Amino acid sequence: MSWLWAIIVGLVLGLIAKAILPGKQQIPLWLTVIFGILGSVLGNAVATWIGVNDTKGIDWIRHLLQLLGAVVVVGVGDMLWASMKGSRRHA
């Protein structure tokens, strides 16, 4: 069941990240989910690194770091996707 939860969280974080980023992103939905999952993992790693991954109550800092990770991964991934799609058209 944890893989299903990771997909749901990845979808939600990916869509929120796409909404935060300016402009229209060209990545498909399946890649948004993957980038959201990767951003969540990145945010969890940073939260663990700075020692705020498990606190009493709701882990707001960890969730914020997960969202920030998703924004970064979706932004960079969209740039890479656009450059790959652009180079295929010219080939």
Per-residue pLDDT tens over the stretch 14-48: 999 999 999 888 899 999 999 999 999 998 899 88
Looking at residue 91, its pLDDT comes to 46
Burial 5-34 (b: 16+ CB within 10 A, else e): eeeebbbebbbbbbeeeeeebebeeebbbb
Question: pTM (2 decimals)?
Answer: 0.84
- Are 10 and 40 in contact by the 8 Å Cβ rule? The answer is yes
